[in-house]
Amino acid sequence: MNFKGERQSVTIPRAAKTLRRTRIQEEKEEQILEAALDVFSASGFRGSTIDQIAEVAGMSKPNLLYYFRTKEAMHRALIDRVLYTWLEPLRAFDADGNPEEEIRSYIRRKLEMARDFPRESRLFANEVLQGAPHIEDELKGPLKELVDEKAEVIRAWAKSGKIVKCDPYHLIFSIWSTTQHYADFDVQVRAVLGQDHAGEGRFEDAARFLEQLFIGGLRPDPSES
């Protein structure tokens, strides 16, 4: 699934358009994108500047602009990556699988992403909070198509009696919100849990609770069979 569409050319670094890209060019591009991810995830697109990104990257502004001509190009490259990575667990949702196992796997993969990619989660959240000006087409197009497809999977499970009847969209939204909370509000989570419970184990604790919440709530009552 391609989330880049007609904008793909905007995201290609200037250095990438040369006939042969060197290892150093590739490393510089990654260095810039790492710095841009730090800045964008903390300040959002509007609150970030090329000067800030260059400073974090440890590069001069002219050197940075050799690789990415605009702030928009850096942001777009990151957003394309995030959209693909963030939706991969939902793509793996298997209609032929056991519903409990599929939902359990989805919850755990989303929590793993919250743990391993917190900056990417905050980058996406900042974009949406600002009205999604750079990804509106993707949200209304490929993302919606994928969610519609998986909503039909959930409806089929419910129709066959494998899970209780539910609104599939709100189920997906609920899993998104509860799992991504651990990335977007990490400071709050750790502050409330306190030093004794705010370590890496908080993600396993969250997984067990969310499994109980969602899977327990979706499991059919045998007495009603």
Helix orientation angle between 201-218 and 168-184, rounded to the nearest 10 degrees: 170
- Asked whether residue 133 carries a pLDDT value surpassing 60, the answer given is yes
Mean pLDDT taken over the chain: 89
Q: Is the model's pLDDT at 130 over the cut of 70?
A: yes
Question: Which pTM value belongs to this model?
Answer: 0.83
Q: What is the rounded CA–CA span in Å between residue 181 and residue 173? A: 12
For the chain, give the percent of residues with pLDDT over 70: 89
* One-character DSSP codes across the chain: --S-GGGHHHHS-GGGGSSS--HHHHHHHHHHHHHHHHHHHHHTTTT--HHHHHHHHT--HHHHHHH-SSHHHHHHHHHHHHHHHHHHHHHT--TTS-HHHHHHHHHHHHHHHHHH-HHHHHHHHHHHHTT-TTTHHHIIIIIHHHHHHHHHHHHHHHHTTSS----HHHHHHHHHHHHHHHHHTHHHHHHHH-TTT-STHHHHHHHHHHHHHHHHHHSPPGGG-
The proportion of the chain whose per-residue pLDDT surpasses 90, expressed as a percent, equals 75
Which pLDDT does position 11 carry in this prediction? 45
pLDDT at 20: 60
Q: What is the pLDDT of residue 2?
A: 39
pLDDT 10s digits, 25-71: 889 999 999 999 999 999 989 999 999 999 999 999 999 999 999 99
- Per-residue pLDDT reduced to its tens digit, 30-40: 999 999 999 99
